[in-house]
Amino acid sequence: MAAIRAVEELRGLAPQAYDITVFGAEPHGSYNRVLLSPLLAGEKRIEDVVTHPPEWYVEQGIMLHRSDPVDHIDRVRRSVRSRQGVVAPYDRLLIATGSLPILLPVPGCHLQGVITFRDLQDVDTMLVASRARRHAVVIGGGILGLEAASGLLQRGLDVTVVHIHRHLMERELDDQAAELLRGELERRGLKFKMAAQTSHLCGKTHVSGVGFTDGSELPADLVVVAVGVRPNIELARAAGLPCDRGLLVDDTMMTYDPSIYAIGECVQHRGKTFGLVAPLLEQARVCATYLAERGTRAYRASPPSTQLKVSGVQVFSAGNHGAGPGVESLVLRDPKRGIYKRLVISEDRIRGAVLYGDIRDSGWYLSLMKEGRNIRTFRHELLFGELQSQ
């Protein structure tokens, strides 16, 4: 998604500046990964997910190499070589290799029926499995795990979510919002095994269950592992580009090699790596301006924000909702309506927000955070939304 946004922005800013060649590991054109969960749940079709089919690249005069990732960068000759042996020279190289799903380092992790939830192929695999399997276990109670679990439940499977922490989405939600979320998902039919550490996956050739450190086991003929991702930096590291957790870039998204830029989940900027769509698209915009030689502003990471994509469940989180010196919380609870709002305030500015059941004002709260706006004059009305506070 970051790569295609950069290409679009660059074409708009400087249509004739570059001949563009794109190499990709997948057999498709560009598609919207955000919509993979609704696709799995049957709420979207593949036509809704694919944003730029191969025909679009042809129309734009862009050379697209599908199912053929780059496996070598020659920084001296300024060229790349693909897995199929295609060599392409470059004046500027943009690396947008994304991230790789983390597999659990436990016995049985490579059994058949154990998959991740990352791309269109994973969705296809789950859809095939949903027609032949009965018991699914999703390891990981974060955003991606819950979306996968909800999708499989809608496909008719018996689904249990296994999470190592005591409450769901621990990075994004506080314990009260997490309990409301868990209650709603349980009413829909999802099962949960919390504070559970996986020790092994059962089976000889195909997975048959999940084992835990407390000695218990769960039956499973499909296991989806959604415990996180790591920046895909092997290609960059092999080329000698400085990397830490991610490929290091400056405020223009340039690497230590002035002819190579990088954006997306593979990069590390000012000590941070990224896994959400909004910052990746902003990186793409900034990078394109510098590739077009029209760059005037630096990239600055905005407060992270997330929204769970499970139909009928409204969850939003942004910024930092942790406690600390000088930090206070404004809280609204309406148990009967299933609404919970918590705004984290410091020095008369919003530092974080957790919303459940009513997220209509999420965009406004996020804008207040980004702007660093002083909320002192309307603090007493803040929880009741934008219209009441203006």
The CATH number linked to 220 is 3.50.50.60
Q: Give the model confidence (pLDDT) of 113-135 as tens digits.
A: 999 999 999 999 999 988 888 99
Q: What is the mean pLDDT of residues 175-203?
A: 96
Q: Give the model confidence (pLDDT) of 233-249 as tens digits.
A: 999 999 999 999 999 99
Report the range of poorest mean pLDDT among 9-13, 92-96, 130-134.
130-134
Based on the domain organization, do 220 and 363 belong to the same domain? no
| CA-closest candidate to residue 222, choices 132, 119, 140 | 132
**Which pLDDT does position 335 carry in this prediction?**
87
Q: Which residues touch 116 (CB under 8 Å, ≥6 apart)?
A: 101, 103, 122, 224, 225, 226
- Classify residue 31: in a domain, yes or no: yes
Q: What is the mean pLDDT of residues 309-317?
A: 91
Based on the domain organization, do 9 and 92 belong to the same domain? yes
Residue ending a domain, choose from 168, 200, 225 = 225
**Which pLDDT does position 385 carry in this prediction?**
87
Of all residues in the chain, the percent with pLDDT exceeding 70 is 99
- Classify residue 104: in a domain, yes or no: no
**Banded model confidence at residue 207, pLDDT cuts 50, 70, 90:** very high
**Banded model confidence at residue 326, pLDDT cuts 50, 70, 90:** confident
Based on the domain organization, do 7 and 156 belong to the same domain? no
d(Cα 207, Cα 51) in Å, to the nearest integer?
35
Q: Decide if pLDDT at 1 tops 60.
A: yes
Of all residues in the chain, the percent with pLDDT exceeding 90 is 90
Domain count, the chain: 3
**Banded model confidence at residue 387, pLDDT cuts 50, 70, 90:** low
Based on the domain organization, do 347 and 270 belong to the same domain? no
- Classify residue 300: in a domain, yes or no: no
Q: Which residues touch 115 (CB under 8 Å, ≥6 apart)?
A: 122, 125, 126, 129, 222, 223, 224, 225
Q: Decide if pLDDT at 390 tops 60.
A: no
Structure-derived torsion over alpha carbons of residues 157, 185, 171, 315, reported in degrees to the nearest 10? 120
Based on the domain organization, do 119 and 220 belong to the same domain? yes
Residue ending a domain, choose from 196, 225, 254 = 225
Show the DSSP H helices in the chain as ranges: 2-13, 36-41, 46-49, 54-59, 120-132, 143-154, 175-188, 234-238, 277-291, 362-371, 386-389
Based on the domain organization, do 212 and 233 belong to the same domain? no
What distance lies between CA 161 and its chain's CA centroid? 19
Based on the domain organization, do 217 and 236 belong to the same domain? no
Torsion angles phi and psi, residue 158, rounded to 5: -80, 120
Based on the domain organization, do 118 and 218 belong to the same domain? yes
Based on the domain organization, do 287 and 242 belong to the same domain? yes
- Classify residue 251: in a domain, yes or no: yes
**Which pLDDT does position 388 carry in this prediction?**
56
- Classify residue 76: in a domain, yes or no: yes
Based on the domain organization, do 16 and 88 belong to the same domain? yes
**Banded model confidence at residue 386, pLDDT cuts 50, 70, 90:** confident
Q: CA geometry: angle at 98 spanning 229 and 53, to 5°?
A: 125
- Classify residue 105: in a domain, yes or no: no
- Classify residue 299: in a domain, yes or no: no
143-154 and 120-132 helices cross at what angle (nearest 10)?
Answer: 40
Which residue's structure tokens are 């203006």? 390
Q: Which residues touch 84 (CB under 8 Å, ≥6 apart)?
A: 65, 68
Based on the domain organization, do 95 and 233 belong to the same domain? yes
Q: Give the model confidence (pLDDT) of 330-366 as tens digits.
A: 999 998 899 999 999 999 999 999 999 999 999 999 9
Q: Which residues touch 255 (CB under 8 Å, ≥6 apart)?
A: 95, 236, 241, 242, 247, 248, 249, 261, 262
Per the structure, the complete domain to which residue 338 belongs is given by 314-389
| CA-closest candidate to residue 342, choices 146, 173, 169 | 173
Q: Give the model confidence (pLDDT) of 245-269 as tens digits.
A: 999 999 999 999 999 999 999 999 9
The CATH number linked to 357 is 3.30.390.30
- Classify residue 135: in a domain, yes or no: yes
175-188 and 143-154 helices cross at what angle (nearest 10)?
Answer: 10
Residue ending a domain, choose from 225, 256, 275 = 225
Based on the domain organization, do 40 and 65 belong to the same domain? yes
Strand-pairing partners, residue 217, are 211
Mean residue pLDDT across the chain: 94
